[in-house]
Amino acid sequence: MSSSFTCATGFSFLLPWYDHLVARLTCEQAVKKHLIQQAGIGPQTRLLDVGCGSGTLLQLVQEQGPATGEGPSPWVGLDIDPRILKQAQVKLDSYGKQPHGRVHLVRAACDRLPFHDHSFQVVSCSLVLHHLKPEQKLSALREMRRVLSRTGKLVLADYGHPKSMLARLLFLMVQIADGWESTQPQLQGVLPNLIAEAGFQSHQETAVMSTPLGTLRCYVASP
């Protein structure tokens, strides 16, 4: 597993306040609900949330109703940081007692996903790629494609080419917190090219949202 990574808030002393910060600074509900709707996630959808952070997207999925069907929960959250996974576990635990309601949380790096080929119908990834170095962004996207079923969908949200000079200036706060090497390519709008280079057959930009930290762009892609 990669030994170094950028924590969810950039500066780790802010980690206990992750949910408050992200809710106020990233249009969180609108973005995550948009991804869930674009992917058409339902009670039986086998879903992997890559870089799940404190588990908010998975919680929104749980709130739609418990998973149905036999066997283990079809919903998996993966993150590299044990501290944020602990926050996710606490948040998601209230659903743990419901049959098949539990989300399975896994600690791993997003560029080495510990899953078989074609094992998920949907992979979601929100606000993670801007944490990764340029070469890691591509290998993470390749891994997401590998674990998707042939008819599956990737739904993605991250900072992209800014809509205005103000959006560009606001993004400086993300760059100071998360570092230049990983964030600078986002400004150049690399995501669509990387999605194609990772082997996805088609992709589409589905939303552009102005946030207090810059311009967020959402994509849906087919493997």
Ligand X SMILES: C[S@@+](CC[C@H](N)C(=O)[O-])C[C@H]1O[C@@H](n2cnc3c(N)ncnc32)[C@H](O)[C@@H]1O
Residues 6+ apart with CB under 8 A from 32: 56, 57, 60, 126, 157
- Is position 109 an interface residue for ligand X (rule: CB under 6 A)? yes
- Is position 190 an interface residue for ligand X (rule: CB under 6 A)? no
How far CA 18 is from CA of 7, 13, 24, in Å, comes to 10, 10, 10
From the list 5-13, 143-151, 202-210, 211-219, the region that binds ligand X by CB under 6 A is 5-13
As measured in angstroms, the least distance from the Cβ of 7 to ligand X is 6
Query: Which residue's CB is nearer to ligand X, number 10 or number 223?
Result: 10
Binding mask 131-150 for ligand X (x = CB under 6 A): xx------------------
- Residue where the block lists tokens 């082997």: 199
Beta strands 214-222; 202-211: pairing state: antiparallel
Q: Report which residue type is found at 191.
A: L
What is the Cα–Cα distance from 125 to 162, expressed in whole angstroms? 20
- Residue where the block lists tokens 């992917």: 39
Contacts to ligand X from residues 33-72, by CB under 6 A:
51-53, 56
- Is position 154 an interface residue for ligand X (rule: CB under 6 A)? no
Contacts to ligand X by CB under 6 A: 2, 5-8, 22, 51-53, 56, 79-81, 84, 109-110, 126-128, 131-132
